[in-house]
Amino acid sequence: MKVKISIEEIRKYLDIETLEFPKYVAPLINLANQYAQGTRLKVVGQMSELIQQFTGKTLSEWEKWYLKQKPDAIRESTEKIVQMLKNFKNTIDKIDREMVEQWVRDLVVVKTFIGLRFQEAILKKGAEIKGDNYRLSEPDEESRGIDGYIGDIPVSIKPYTYEIKASLPEHIDVKIIYYTKIDTGIEVDYGEIID
């Protein structure tokens, strides 16, 4: 039998007080921490290793022991996060309706279009590198797993995760171009298509 125990229940069973914050406070602090990296290894230590070294039993013993190991960690972490929250506050004052509308348009219209059409960009870049032409596939070619052509080479464009999947039901009988989404765009492996 599988049983789920919520964080709230764990806190209750261990007699640890559940903190209550005003609405939006915890997610904002969490976001600020992500940007500030206030609870990263170099600030608070390698927690998984530290907890294994701890020989006590109670929360108060753990807190005392941890603060002896890392006496400045809580203060340093707090400073980083507070500074980032100040940055957020300054930025929030600059956000107006027009800026939000531009952001929404970029997300809903532009990024959706890019996400759906980046296959063409992959074909175009490959053709440019190869010094050849490209074209998107026709519907009957798509049904055979062909996304387009670089020169006269039919290709299928798949994410790297596709390559990892062991038991795929479809068999694609053309060259496959693999891509990975990265922060700055996409990373494409054209394989021997562009040699």
Domain-wise residue ranges, the chain: 7-92, 118-194
pLDDT band of residue 94 (cuts 50, 70, 90) is: very high
Stated as kind and residue range, the H or E segment containing 178 is strand 175-182
C-alpha count within 13 angstroms, C-beta hemisphere, residue 157: 24
pLDDT band of residue 158 (cuts 50, 70, 90) is: confident
User: Are 124 and 147 spatial neighbours (Cβ–Cβ below 8 Å)?
Assistant: no
Name the H helices within 14-158. Answer: 25-36, 41-44, 47-53, 59-69, 73-92, 97-105, 112-130, 139-142
Q: What is the pLDDT of residue 145?
A: 86
The SS3 of residue 171 is coil
pLDDT at 93 over 90: yes
Q: What is the pLDDT of residue 170?
A: 57
The stretch 166-179 carries a mean pLDDT of 72
The stretch 172-193 carries a mean pLDDT of 86
The stretch 49-65 carries a mean pLDDT of 94
The stretch 91-116 carries a mean pLDDT of 90
* Cβ partners under 8 Å of residue 125, min gap 6: 188
pLDDT at 80 over 90: yes
**Whole-structure pTM value:** 0.62
At 4-54, the pLDDT tens digits run: 888 889 988 888 998 899 999 999 999 999 999 999 999 999 999 999 999
The stretch 147-157 carries a mean pLDDT of 93
CA distances to 40, 44, 54, 105, 115 from 75, rounded to whole Å, are 13, 10, 21, 40, 42
* Residue 187, beta-bridge partner list: 180
Token pair 């800026």 in the structure block, residue: 99
Give me the chain's average pLDDT, please: 90
Q: What is the pLDDT of residue 168?
A: 53
Q: Which residues of 41-61 are buried (b: 16+ CB within 10 A; e: fewer)?
A: eebbeeeeeeeeeeeeeeeee
Name the CA radius of gyration of the chain, rounded: 26
pLDDT at 171 over 80: no
Q: What is the pLDDT of residue 61?
A: 95
pLDDT at 164 over 70: no
The stretch 56-62 carries a mean pLDDT of 93
